[in-house]
Amino acid sequence: QKEVEQNSGPLSVPEGAIASLNCTYSDRVSQSFFWYRQYSGKSPELIMSIYSNGDKEDGRFTAQLNKASQYVSLLIRDSQPSDSATYLCAVNIRGKGSQGNLIFGKGTKLSVKP
């Protein structure tokens, strides 16, 4: 079983809609979860972090974490064409010998149509 899984997409949504991006992870003791956005040809940039169960909101972005289900999601409200990018889920995998081992999913490509 892959450690961090995401649907590769592409996920296509119309402008103004809610985009929902999902991620599952295999390590039950993971404590830290992140969403990175990567535009084509650019480097990943951190947009959200979440550490406890529930929702965390930041502007148009909401991260949701359910540790019992080993599931983390990112909602983008009022999607804009500028949100079109690949979204990477990253999870801190404990038991891999070091605290800094972030495991990335392969990303979901989001396309927001005007």
Partner 1 sequence: DAGVIQSPRHEVTEMGQEVTLRCKPISGHDYLFWYRQTMMRGLELLIYFNNNVPIDDSGMPEDRFSAKMPNASFSTLKIQPSEPRDSAVYFCASSLFINTQYFGPGTRLTVL
Residues that bind partner 1 (CB under 8 A): 32, 34, 42-46, 49, 88, 92, 96-107
Nearest-angstrom CA–CA distance, 36 and 52: 18
Q: How far is the CB of 40 from partner 1 (least distance, A)?
A: 12
Q: Please, which residue, 38 or 111, has the CB nearer to partner 1?
A: 38
Q: Residues with Cβ < 8 Å from 43, sequence gap 6 or more?
A: none
Q: How far is the CB of 44 from partner 1 (least distance, A)?
A: 5
- Residue 101 falls in which region: left (phi positive, over 0), alpha (psi -120 to 50) or beta: beta
Q: Please, which residue, 40 or 69, has the CB nearer to partner 1?
A: 40
Q: How far is the CB of 8 from partner 1 (least distance, A)?
A: 10
CA angle 106/110/114 to nearest 5° reads 170
Q: Please, which residue, 66 or 101, has the CB nearer to partner 1?
A: 101
Residue found by looking up tokens 């990112």 in the block: 74
